Amino acid sequence: MKTFIASIVLVAAAAIVLSSAAGADAPNRPPGVGILDWIPISDSLGIVLVRPATRPVDPTALLLAPPAEGYLMVKRAAGWRRLVIVEPDKGPGPAG
């Protein structure tokens, strides 16, 4: 009897979790970015993956996955902006 009640409670909890997850709002993403290309980090920061054009693969080549390419997007009051990271000319300290 205890296992029957425990299984009913478990099924009810799973139903509640699934219904709340299905009803959750879709993540806010920049306009024009597909759902498969958007990786949200937070509500105001995310990564946009850029999918390269497919090219023919040599069947004798060692098949390694190429590195993913993309860029960061940040949400400000005016909307989504592309984030560009600029490296400094010199590093910290007197030696550079």
Q: Can you give the pLDDT at residue 67?
A: 74
What is the C-alpha end-to-end distance of the chain, expressed in Å?
A: 72
Q: Can you give the pLDDT at residue 74?
A: 93
Torsion of CA 37, 40, 45, 50, to 10 degrees: -20
Q: Is the pTM of this model over 0.85?
A: no
Q: Can you give the pLDDT at residue 11?
A: 45
Cross-strand pairs, 52: none
List the chain domain ranges.
28-83
pLDDT in tens, 57-82: 666 666 676 777 889 999 999 899 99
pLDDT in tens, 8-40: 544 445 445 444 444 344 458 899 999 989 999
